[in-house]
């Protein structure tokens, strides 16, 4: 099985973190399973060749993704099954992107979209088509961004009532701030748990008292969101998301 | 700045990761990578959580962790490997680690572990 992954810089002013292309080739047609855990990114997917079946165990759904689709924020894990040969283009989109996305935003779903209106031959042409579409169709929903940095609330929200803010967050992202924070906590753990530079990997050493009181608390929260224990997750393969996650971490730390 | 010469990966993120490696550890890292890919040409490389290079097929087999002056190779199914060379450490239920600190590491042993890992792919 031959897997390639290419990446191109995005346009932060449009909320695009980066563009990517993944191909999977095998000698004969095959199915490849992949895990997808919750992340604080939206992903636009354009399936040029092959199919992707999505299994949503929590929603008890199994369906094939359409050719072009926007993956919204999820609070639980998904399982993808790719048929090979697969050629998949994508754009990783930040929370900022959705604040100018004209359609209604819901969580735990995929939105049928058609941003690529002519054939994308390569990653460069996919990038050009997606950027063109987003430039033409963006509409700011709020006067200012909801977050100043990370998940830190912007100053202009300070005098709003908690109820008003809840409604703003849900309208903007499809999730409450607490649900966004839970996903953030999961990734904060993953990021620090994998900083092996000074010591051996021992998950217990990476439990953050501010977020998870102890290892059982971490295990419970982790399993609830990913369906796996931390150790199972570290050993499991997730072809697409591994690449997307590491590229996202690097993009963010490079800023 | 002079760029490092190495066999480019099919994965852009792996190339970026290698280019950012510390100059002191990079030669050892590239030597190990060359040895792993020569013994397991069907491996795909990816970066997990920005710090670990992972060699896998449809599942992960080996994780490379870069430390200060050493590189650890974690074999996820290490407990099932026939350790003829006695270089695998660890007492976990599945994984075993091979620590490498210098360029004169046992390449024959590493190639043997890699080939055994790939055989378990079926």
Interchain pair A197, B47: CB under 8 A:
no
Identify the structural domains of chain B with CATH numbers, from first to last: 12-119 (3.90.1150.200)
Token output for A131: 């950027």
CB A53 within 8 A of CB A63: yes
Q: Name the residue with higher pLDDT: A145 or A19.
A: A19
Interchain pair A250, B49: CB under 8 A:
no
Regions in chain B scoring below 70 on pLDDT: 1-3, 49-50, 122
Interchain pair B11, A4: CB under 8 A:
yes
* pLDDT per position as a tens digit, A190-218: 776 665 544 444 555 555 666 677 778 88
pLDDT at B122: 63
Interchain pair A1, B57: CB under 8 A:
yes
Nearest residue of chain B to residue A5 (CA atoms):
B11
Is A81 strand, coil or helix?
strand
CB A44 within 8 A of CB A34: no
* Strand order through the sheet with A42-49: A2-9, A16-25, A86-93, A42-49, A68-71, A110-112
Which of A35-39, A148-152, A227-231, A251-255 ranks highest by mean pLDDT?
A35-39
With a threshold of 0.85, tell me whether the complex ipTM lies above it: no
- How distant is the Cα of B38 from the closest Cα of chain A, in angstroms? 16
Mutate to test the interface with A, among B41, B52, B58, B91 (most CBs of A within 10 A): B58
A171-180, A229-238, B102-111: least confident range: A229-238
Name every residue in A having a CB less than 8 A away from some CB of B.
1-7, 32-33, 190-191, 193-198, 200-201, 235-237, 239, 242-243, 245-247, 249-250, 253
Give Cβ neighbours of residue A151 (< 8 Å, ≥ 6 apart).
Answer: A40, A177, A180, A181, A184
User: Residues A113-123: what's their mean pLDDT?
Assistant: 92
Whether pLDDT at A97 is above 60: yes
Interchain pair B11, A5: CB under 8 A:
yes
């Amino acid at each position: 099985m031959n897997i390639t992954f290419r990446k191109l810089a995005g346009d932060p002013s449009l909320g695009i973190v980066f563009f990517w292309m993944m191909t999977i080739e095998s000698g004969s047609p095959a199915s490849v399973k992949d895990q997808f855990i919750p992340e604080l990114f939206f992903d636009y997917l354009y399936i040029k060749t092959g199919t992707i079946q999505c299994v949503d165990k929590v929603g008890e759904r199994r369906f094939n993704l359409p050719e072009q689709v926007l993956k919204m924020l999820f609070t639980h894990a998904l399982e993808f099954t790719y048929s090979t040969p697969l050629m998949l283009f994508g754009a990783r989109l930040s929370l900022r992107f959705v604040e100018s996305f004209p359609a209604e935003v819901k969580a735990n779903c995929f939105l049928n979209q058609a941003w690529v209106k002519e054939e994308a031959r390569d990653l460069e042409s996919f990038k050009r088509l997606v950027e063109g579409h987003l430039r033409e169709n963006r509409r700011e929903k709020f006067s200012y961004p909801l977050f100043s940095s990370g998940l830190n609330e912007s100053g202009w929200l300070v005098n709003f009532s908690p109820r008003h803010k809840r409604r703003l967050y849900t309208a903007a992202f499809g999730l409450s701030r607490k649900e966004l924070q839970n996903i953030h906590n999961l990734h904060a753990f993953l990021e620090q748990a994998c900083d092996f530079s000074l010591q051996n990997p021992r998950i217990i050493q990476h439990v953050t008292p501010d977020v998870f009181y102890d290892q059982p608390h971490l295990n419970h929260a982790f399993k609830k969101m990913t369906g796996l224990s931390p150790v199972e997750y570290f050993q499991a393969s997730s072809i697409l998301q591994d690449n997307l996650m590491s590229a996202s971490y690097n993009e963010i730390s490079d800023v | 700045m002079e760029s490092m010469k190495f066999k480019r990966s099919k994965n852009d993120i792996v190339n970026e990761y290698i280019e950012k490696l510390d100059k002191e550890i990079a030669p050892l890292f590239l030597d190990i990578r060359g040895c792993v890919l020569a013994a397991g040409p069907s491996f795909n490389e990816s970066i997990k959580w920005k710090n670990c290079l992972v060699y896998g097929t449809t599942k992960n087999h080996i994780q490379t962790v870069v430390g200060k002056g050493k590189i650890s190779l974690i074999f996820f199914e290490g407990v099932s490997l026939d350790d003829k060379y006695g270089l695998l450490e660890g007492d976990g239920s599945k994984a075993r680690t091979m620590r490498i600190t210098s360029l004169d590491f046992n390449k024959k042993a590493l190639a043997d572990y890699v080939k055994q890992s790939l055989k378990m792919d079926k």
